[in-house]
Amino acid sequence: MTVRRDFKEPARCRPDLVIGREELFTSARDQLARGGSVLLHGPAGIGKSTVLRALAADYGDAAHTVLRCSATESESHLPFLALADLFGLVLDEISDRLPTAQRTALESALTGRGESTLQRDGLALRLAVLSALRALAASGPVLLVADDLQWLDSASAELLGFAARRLGDTPVQLLCAVRTEGQEYDRHLRASPPDTLAVRLNPLSRNQVSALLDHRGYTDLPRSTVREIHRTSGGNPLFALELGRALGENPTPPRPGEPLPVPTSLRALVLSRLDMLSDDARRTLLVASAGARPTLALLHAAGRENAEAETARAAELGLLATEPEGPAVRFAHPLISAALYAEAPVTERRAAHAALSTAASDPIERARNLALATTGTDPEVAARLAEAAALARDRGAPSVAASLGLLAARHTPPDGTPPPDEHRLKAAEDAITAGEVDLARDIAREVLTRATVPADRIRAWEVVIEAAGQALGDVDAVFPQALADAGDDPRLLALVHYHLAWRKLIVEADFSEARQEAAHAAELAARGGDRRTELMSLSFQASTETLMGHPNAPTTIKRALKEPQDPYVACHHNGVGAARFRWLLMSDQLPEARATITALLREVRRRGMVESEVHFQRFLAETELRSGHCGRALDLSRESLRLARDSGIGLGASAMLASLAEASGGDPDRALALAREAADRAEEDGDQMYLSRALAALGHAQFVAGDAAAAVASLRRVRELETGLRITDPARGRWHGDLAEALVRVGEPGEAQDVIDVAREQALRLGRESVLAVLDRAEALVRAAHGDHEGALARLTSVQDRLAKLGYGLEEARAAFALARLRTARPGPTSYDEAARLFRRCRALPWLRQVDAAAAAGAVEPAPLAPQAPPASDALEGLASMERQVAALVMEGATNREIAARLFISVKTVEATLTRVYRKLGIRSRVDIVRLAAGRHAK
């Protein structure tokens, strides 16, 4: 399906579309042909729209769907007009392919009807636009053509920029034009796809201006006159054509050398043409210039009875463009509308806005026009503006709501109800929602310069704090001032201490202090009767206690679950439901954890709370991974990561979880890349908590990939980080077993036992049964390394049974794998059948490949920690433990595959270890090691 909207150019005008622009036209067309996007930019009248139309006509047939929009200055304040242009005709085609919350949000934005979004997450609408483009692209390439980006309403511009940055390989291309001065196009380029080519349109040369004038019929102009037109217009094609038109209408052409007897600015040219209109016709055009998407019907409703005849005359004079496809009254160029409006007396402008305040169909437009028609304060106008702001907020256009709120404040009397600062604070909160943090901060700071009511001051301080985002350390000075403003009001103090709790956690990484601040905030909120803040504080306290292994976590969760509940807090990702889920997961209650998170995920999807959906989908993936459902976990984690990348929320955490899922059920190389991405992101953010989680995922991926030495390095750093953070619960990261097993593989069983002993003490204290079982599995391998095979076999048999009863399918399979490798009484591939069956049940493909490799190598007895020294043992004294063991097995004649099986390491690790042995011993090959075994020196 191809959607054709604006930019229809009459066939007779085609030849001049790219006069003087042939080279850049070819460059832009080639960019589109390669699948890239194009951003045309340059000053007003330079020909951007002309080139845009030509490119769209030339390349549009290659696209399956063409979406078009063109904005004007007068409509830039109305939300979603550009979005309606783009998707209005295709909404029915794609709506069934969108998730419910996204479909509802998009329909509400485009129609202004449907379910209110007051309680909905604004991300739903952003993701809806992205999903809509992907749905259209599933049927074939999509070309989005947008002219005059500078006038796009802020809501549409934000949504399109959000989608454009996340399209990736989706076959959606953007062809856009924007008015700029100099090189100021970076802001628009940042909101375009990464592969966008920016093309600047420069002034035409004298010969190009001459060719343009000839094509338009001004063929009898002397060369000197053409030269003067080029000089006067500065090579701007619009100005040059207007000068040519003025000269064509002048009965006495200038003689060579004489200055042009015409105005030298477009504004003057426009005004001279407006003089040919009657006063009534000029007023009609003034109403059109002040309205958004003016139509003849709108002009009639605004009292312009002769609109048809007056607009027809304006079209004859070149002031208006014909609209063959619709009823819109469109100016031939935005500059014409701007000049007309700027030249009109103030009284006439107000009269035009007053007429539109009753004639316009959109309540937001009516309210804005009423404001522009009114001087000074007026409670009724302020009320209308506040209602319009609420409507914009409901539609999901917080940026528009913020601007309307500021207008409401301007028209509110100082003693009005509500007072002006109430409108300003609401506008600041809307700006935060819209991501306009600088505007929000400026509004809040302005309120603080004069506000004396403590509640208003705390509300303003909250905006300043929220505007800081994760960089709470940048607003340290705010907290003492906010505490002083809160005085002894427990409700206000509770809000400040809740933010302080987050600061303690994010800035200082101090779980204990964060817990105390949250507990204090909950107590204050309870005294002040603020149940929502009390529940959020209790939830924060419970989550912190759970992560730090504090014994009060279950009690705090029970307190947070008491009635009355707040529906928003109950399903928020920082609310009590999430806190209870974390506790269930860490307490080995997997079925209850799955039921809890599934219900939460269902509820946030119903409510359209996309930010919470991102987190909860990741939580569900983690639950499935713990349960050994690796295929399901892999699908969920990949979807969670895609949603995180789309929304920009929880990228590090989602990459970390996706790494764990890939290592268990997907691609180990991708697991390594994702873990490194998560670690790099946490390092950049200075987030020590998630850095430890990311490094734990990296260590696990390295362990699965067979690089035990790298895994040890990563997991040792995790141990250091969590010691510094005072995180003692081994169920938080569950990395201790991996570290212990990796240490055994590199020949450090003593350190491995230390890791096990420390983690076991805390796991026993907290009753972490699955952690204890995994630690026992690692300890069995320590025993095997010391030669106690019988004890290791007995321990592994018990561990496998315990993990099966707890429901940890993947850990059960790993125990069976370790057990198979130790069973030397029944050598051969059949000894691995149980491990292969369990890994297959889990869909743990990377582990299955390890089983196949071990089975192919044959069951061999693990080497004891201290093998019988060969004759050349003195030569091996300078080697590390792992290096000595590998060298000793080479001396016995073992192949690299056999060494890998006996030492529980990969063939790649064996090869790397041998390289270090060669370097340290000054030899070149395995043969030289064998010579050492025979007591001979390498020659």
Mean pLDDT throughout 341-352?
89
Q: Give tens-digit pLDDT for 649-693.
A: 888 899 999 999 999 999 999 999 999 999 998 888 777 888 999
pLDDT of residue 878: 66
Tens of pLDDT, residues 578-622: 999 999 999 999 999 999 999 999 988 887 787 888 899 999 999
pLDDT at 828 > cutoff 60:
no
Q: What is the pLDDT of residue 843?
A: 93
65: closest CA among 160, 138, 146, 148? 138
| Nearby residues of 70 by Cβ (< 8 Å), 6 or more positions away | 5, 6, 7, 85, 146, 147, 148
pLDDT digits (tens, 9 = 90+) for 33-53: 998 999 998 888 888 888 998
d(CA 374, CA 86): 34
Identify the weakest region by mean pLDDT among 272-281, 415-424, 778-787. 272-281
The pLDDT of residue 183 is 52
User: Is the separation of the CB atoms in 299 and 287 below 8 Å?
Assistant: yes
Alpha-helical regions (H) of 192-236: 206-215, 223-233
The burial class, CB within 10 Å (0-12 / 13-18 / 19+), for 798 is: middle
pTM: predicted TM-score of the whole model, two decimal places = 0.72
Provide the pLDDT confidence category of residue 4 given band limits of 50, 70 and 90.
very low
The answer on pLDDT for 421 being more than 80 is yes
In this predicted structure, what is the pLDDT of residue 253?
Answer: 64
Residue listed under structure tokens 């509004």? 443
Helices (H), 807-906: 809-822, 833-842, 845-857, 881-891, 896-903
pLDDT tens profile 355-390:
999 999 889 999 989 999 998 899 999 999 999 999
Q: What is the pLDDT of residue 366?
A: 92
State CA 732 to chain mean position distance. 26
Q: From the CB of residue 60, how many other CB atoms can be counted at a distance below 10 Å?
A: 19
Examine the pLDDT at 637 and tell me if it is beyond 70.
yes
Average pLDDT of span 72-76 = 79
What whole-number distance in Å separates Cα of residue 136 and Cα of residue 514? 47
Tokens coding 712? 């040890």
Is the pLDDT at 345 greater than 50, yes or no? yes
Residues of the chain above pLDDT 90, percent: 45
Rounded CA separation 601/618 (Å): 10
Mean pLDDT for the stretch of residues 247-256: 64
Q: For residue 540, give the nearest of 506, 587, 586, 490 by alpha carbon.
A: 506
Q: How confident is the model at residue 919 (pLDDT cuts 50, 70, 90)?
A: confident
Spatial CA neighbour of 621 closest among 600, 597, 596, 589: 597
Give residue 257's pLDDT band: very low, low, confident or very high (50, 70, 90). very low
Average pLDDT (445-460) is: 94
Number of C-beta neighbours around residue 235 at 10 A = 18
Average pLDDT over residues 518-546: 95
pLDDT at 255: 56
Q: How far is CA 862 from the centre of its chain?
A: 49
Which residue, 812, 752, 751, is CA-closest to 781? 752
Residue of 606, 642, 603 lying closest to 101 (CA atoms): 606
In this predicted structure, which of 454-463, 531-540, 680-689, 884-893 has the lowest mean pLDDT? 884-893
pLDDT tens figures, 121-144: 567 888 889 999 999 999 999 999
Q: Which residue has the tokens 């989550």?
A: 543
What pLDDT score was predicted for residue 866? 40
pLDDT per residue as tens digits for the range 169-220: 899 999 999 988 655 666 677 778 888 888 888 888 888 888 888 888 887 7
- pLDDT bin (cut points 50, 70, 90) of residue 17 is low
According to the model, what pLDDT value does residue 700 have? 97
> Which residue in the block uniquely carries the two structure tokens 């806005």?
353
- What is the 3-class SS of 701-770, one letter each residue? HHHHCCCHHHHHHHHHHHHHHHHHHCCCCCCCCCCHHHHHHHHHHCCCHHHHHHHHHHHHHHHHHHCCHH
Q: What's the pLDDT score for residue 231?
A: 77
**pLDDT at residue number 597:** 96
Residues 853-908 pLDDT 10s: 888 876 444 444 443 334 444 556 667 767 777 887 777 667 787 777 666 566 77
User: Which residues are paired to 200 by β-bridges?
Assistant: 41
* pLDDT > 90? residue 925: no
